[in-house]
Amino acid sequence: MGNVPTTVKHCLSYEQLIQDYPWLRRWLLLEEKTITGHAYPKFVKIVEVGPRDGLQNEKEIVPTGVKIQLIDMLSGAGLPVIEATSFVSSKWVPQMADHSDVLRGIQRAPHVQYPVLTPNLQGFQDAVAAGATEVAVFGSASETFSKKNINCSIDESMLRFEEVINTARERQIPVRGYVSCALGCPHEGHIEPSKVAEVAKRLYEMGCYEISLGDTIGVGTPGSMFKMLQSVMKEVPTSALAVHCHDTYGQALPNILTALQMGVCVVDSAVAGLGGCPYAQGSSGNVSTEDVLYMLHGMDIETGVNIAKVIEAGDFICNALRRETNSKVARAKGRTL
Amino acid sequence: QDVSLSTKKNCIIYLAGQALPEKVKIVEVGPRDGLQNEKTIVPTETKIHLIDMLSASGLPVIEATSFVSPKWVPQMADQVEVMKGIGRIPGVSYPVLTPNLKGFQAAVKAGASEVAIFGAASELFSKKNINCSVDESLQRFNDVMKAAKEAGVPVRGYVSCVVGCPYEGKVAPEKVAYVAKRLYSMGCYEISLGDTIGVGTPGSMIEMLEAVSKEVPISALAVHCHDTYGQALANILVALQMGIGVVDSSVAGLGGCPYAQGASGNVATEDVVYMLHGLGIQTGVDLSKLMDAGAFICRTLNRKSNSKVAQAVCKL
């Protein structure tokens, strides 16, 4: 079996085959062994969550104009997806109170998606009214986390999301699904990979086009990432999966690397590593987009993103927040002789 | 922490289809490489206490000090007192740096039973750092190697700038292989490959390790990754996947980067151990005792730990 692809590539026109049988490309990619026996994706889609997930977890309320400028700078960097804001009640998340103004104010680059969070039907309708063309819903793999975070069980939250997803389908608006606590819960501790798979499957079958698996408290390591993905990949196609790693324990990049080795090719990250960890005061949260890009580009994986422009956007928002960047790349580049 | 991934009869750990070593030896370089790159001069008793705490955490190798001239490295001026003052645990190795024969002799006199020598994979780095070519520097070590062999003292070899040089930029993997091979054939029992400025990524690491492993057996290789660009753990992971079972790190990520002011240098031992234990790999290290050592030295240096694990756990 190992010899067949080489034979195929040499005897027949590779390009023609790839054209006629698109599935063959993926199969051949899997057969192509790199030095460590892994075929990494040739392209990784970065989902920039800084303006939403990042800022949401920052103490300082950022003025609308600054948010808009940040998003515009990120658009200019070539990021294909930028999570712009969240249509939650401003009572719960004051940072996102200006959601409609932000969505209306940004300059939408062609071929860039600007998803927004919509926790319920009301939020969805507000989002659409403000011009949203993609939305996201948040589920949890932990019952306790679900209850403490959004005051309902996982099942109840799924019902709410079903409403959103069905309405979104009618309007042909794609929906992304998030599963939080995929590698551990601040309340429950260990989370069974099968539970993560169950929630991911539900969101996928309800109609989410992509499921982002979040290591909410950053406790995961390549070992637990591998086990969790193995489980989820039995229920959801790998091409529909994304990883959302937190760097609270410094494990984000090796975890992302493991996910790439397993065929995942969508990675969530936040410019300048914006957003702390609400469960470990003062610790870091989101992995920095700059650090992820540095790794991917160093491995010849394309992203379409200009890292220098992301660093600029990071500098901008860190100045506005009067804080230092969480990105090691940004820090190093700023200080090199 | 249950990580039975895919286990075979001989209990090799597999990750995404690739075997990982069951055990990894951590070489703790905090007291030497770490403190050497810290601005604050640390009192001798503090250094001794740090090393003793690290010994208590189960680390198998702790680089204690450096027998360089105090003129060049004032932080290591108390080399003899440190060597004589630490409580040596049987089975734990306390290597010291010996840049030349004089340093070697002073080290042995002070009780050293393992030493280390340094080579660079970059000509420019070698010239700027120690004022001679790579070949000349290796020549200088000949007398150290001879004396060490006669005294029955094992020697560890370090190669710096293995994936990038602050002056030359990219470094050819073949050059790294050449220097590693020279050190190995001179008699070094282990070669530690250092990403001195932390620019490596899994891409360049693999390329370099492939070249080196053609010349030096993998069992004699170690990786010494810097976290200046946040790549250290990812780089260590791919090294493990290639069969490397020795990792250098520094408690609390001590030691900045002299080439990028304010940027981080050594990878934090706590973060490495967290990853390894999460993979089910044995290290013999007690993470909480290690963190105690990290907390101690950071308090003394009056600085924040560079270890994310330490930062996270303290705040919960």
What is the tally of structural domains in chain A? Answer: 1
Residue of chain B whose Cα is closest to the Cα of A326: B230
A291 CB neighbours in chain B (<8 A) are 229-231
The one catalytic residue in A208, A265, A277, A318 is A277
Query: So what's the pLDDT on residue A277?
Result: 74
* Beta bridge pairs of residue A178: A138, A212
ipTM: 0.91
In a domain, A268, yes or no: yes
Chain A interface, best mutation among B18, B311, B313, B314, by max A CB count within 10 A: B311
Query: So what's the pLDDT on residue B6?
Result: 38
Whole-number Å distance between alpha carbons of A268 and A117: 14
Query: So what's the pLDDT on residue A31?
Result: 41
- Mean pLDDT for each 10-residue chunk of chain B (316 residues)? 35 67 97 91 97 98 95 93 97 96 96 95 90 90 95 97 94 97 97 96 96 97 97 97 96 84 86 96 98 97 94 69
Query: Which tokens hold the place of A284?
Result: 């870091």
DSSP count for chain A of H helices, then E strands: 15, 9
In a domain, B201, yes or no: yes
Give the nearest partner residue to A329 out of B202, B229, B233, using CB atoms. B229
A220 CB neighbours in chain B (<8 A) are 278
Mean pLDDT, residues A197-224 taken together: 97
C-alpha distances out from residue A1 to A7, B14, B315, Å: 10, 22, 52
Query: So what's the pLDDT on residue A335?
Result: 57
Q: Is the pLDDT of residue A166 over 80?
A: yes
Q: Is A277 a catalytic residue?
A: yes
The order of strands in the sheet holding B155-160 is B61-62, B25-28, B246-249, B221-225, B190-195, B155-160, B115-120, B96-97, B65-66
A303 CB neighbours in chain B (<8 A) are none
Q: Which domain holds residue B300?
A: 14-313
With H, G, I as helix, E, B as strand and everything else as coil, classify residue B195: strand
In a domain, A114, yes or no: yes
Q: Is the pLDDT of residue A334 over 90?
A: no
CB-based contact, B26 to chain A, within 8 Å: no
Q: Which domain holds residue A201?
A: 45-333
DSSP letter string over A175-229? EEEEEE-SS-BTTTB---HHHHHHHHHHHHHHT-SEEEEEETTS---HHHHHHHH
Looking up residue A151, the CATH number of its domain turns out to be: 3.20.20.70
pLDDT digits (tens, 9 = 90+) for A75-132: 999 999 999 999 998 888 999 999 999 999 999 999 999 999 999 999 999 999 999 9
What is the tally of structural domains in chain B? Answer: 1
In a domain, A33, yes or no: no
Residue of chain A whose Cα is closest to the Cα of B167: A337
Diameter of chain B measured on Cα atoms: 55
In a domain, B4, yes or no: no
CB B244 within 8 A of CB B259: no
Whole-number Å distance between alpha carbons of B228 and B199: 7
Give the residue among B234, B126, B312, B17 at the shortest CA–CA distance from A299. Answer: B234
- B227 Cα to chain A: minimum distance (Å): 8
In a domain, A265, yes or no: yes
CB-based contact, B308 to chain A, within 8 Å: yes
In a domain, A7, yes or no: no
In a domain, A58, yes or no: yes
Query: Which tokens hold the place of B282?
Result: 């044995």
In a domain, B207, yes or no: yes
Chain B interface, best mutation among A331, A333, A337, by max B CB count within 10 A: A331
In a domain, B77, yes or no: yes
In a domain, A31, yes or no: no
pLDDT digits (tens, 9 = 90+) for A224-262: 999 999 999 999 999 999 999 999 999 999 999 999 999
Whole-number Å distance between alpha carbons of B289 and B314: 14
Beta strands in A45-185 (DSSP E): 45-48, 81-82, 85-86, 116-117, 135-140, 175-180
DSSP count for chain B of H helices, then E strands: 12, 11
B227 CB neighbours in chain A (<8 A) are 328
B15 CB neighbours in chain A (<8 A) are 222-223, 226, 258, 261
Looking up residue B269, the CATH number of its domain turns out to be: 3.20.20.70
Whole-number Å distance between alpha carbons of A311 and A290: 7
Output b/e per residue, A94-122; b: 16+ Cβ within 10 A.
Answer: ebbbbbbebbebbebbeebbbbbbbbbee
Residue keyed to tokens 């645990």: B89
Mark yes or no for CB contact A258/B236 under 8 Å.
no
In a domain, B7, yes or no: no
